[in-house]
Amino acid sequence: MGSPTIAVLRQKIHGLSANDYATALRDELPEIDIAVADTPAAERELVASAPIVTGYDLDAELIETAENLDLFAGVYAGVDHLPLDTFEANDVAVTNASGVHGPNIAEYVIGAILSHVRGFPRARRQQEQRTWQSYPARELQGSTVTVVGLGAIGSAVVDRLDPFGVETLGVRYTPEKGGPTDEVFGFDELHTALARTDYLVLACPLTETTRGLIDSEALLTLPTEAFLVNIARGGVVDTDDLVSALQANRIAGAALDVTDPEPLPEDHPLWGFNTVSITPHNAGHTPRYYERTAEILADNIDRYRNGETDFENRVV
């Protein structure tokens, strides 16, 4: 198979433009024609003719008209926003960007845990008040960190925890596969892991199994000094139950990059807790985002040109 044209959709990801993505792709694939449309009409025309399209989302009606389309390369790890049934009905393979977020989100998790351990939020509040007052701090070493979800992101978190001398517990759909943690549990054993947890990291997709996974019962099972970090999806945590647990001091606090609802309304009670840090779903932001996405697509282009269909990160 010859050199295919890759159509880059006009959507912006994490503040990076389609042209930024095209530049990263040209660096990885200098012999491939990388086309970026600058208007909606030009984009429709490009999608209608290109064998490979990459971007965040593609309208189902456009897919129906894309007679040459063989592969849609998504630039997000999640694919729940995509019309997967339409892709499948039109025999279009779909890949995601799983693994792109690993390094940067893992750094966010480590930073959030260490900030809590060393009391940095309290230090910042005292600095703003110009108050010199000693306060107790903890050590991360010797604690137990539970990571729910052992995909690319969860595994990256576990790798970066290794130098800190912690015990790691993993929770995943298929515990029989093992994982990088010291112990691995299935979702049916979640509470066994939670009862031993000092720091709970949520790195799982939002599914029927995980929606509301961290509810009042789970929060009650966690030790009172446990700290929650959610970089998964807001819906994995029951927000009302979390607020109740924080109000009753049933957990020590939380670092939330995702919330339910999202964006979090300005009058929501979560904003008012000194023990909660909130970021606007940007743990995955990195200037190297498109560079890593381009690396995945470059590997799949090699497979495509060889007539292969076992694409890396294929979901359809």
- Catalytic residues, by residue number, are 233, 262, 281
Record the tokens describing residue 172, joined without a space: 């995943």
Identity of the residue numbered 188:
D
Quick one: CA torsion of 219, 220, 226, 228, rounded to 10 degrees? 0
> What distances in angstroms separate CA 63 from CA 21, 82, 272, 288, one per listed residue?
21, 11, 45, 29
In degrees, to the nearest 5, what angle opens at C-alpha 204 toward C-alphas 190 and 84? 130
Which residue is listed with tokens 């989302």? 57
* Residue showing tokens 């809590």: 116
Nearest to 93 by CA among 275, 294, 293, 308: 308
Q: What count of other Cβ atoms lies within 10 Å of the Cβ of residue 75?
A: 26
Contact indicator for 172, 180 with CB cutoff of 8 Å:
no
* Helices and strands counted in the chain (H then E): 11, 12
Pull the structure tokens for residue 300: 């799949």
Enumerate long-range contacts of 237-245, CB under 8 Å, 24 or more apart.
237/202, 237/212, 237/213, 238/212, 238/214, 239/270, 241/214, 241/215, 241/216, 242/214, 242/270, 243/269, 243/270, 244/216, 245/216, 245/219, 245/220
Phi, psi dihedral angles at 167 (to 5 degrees)? -90, 135
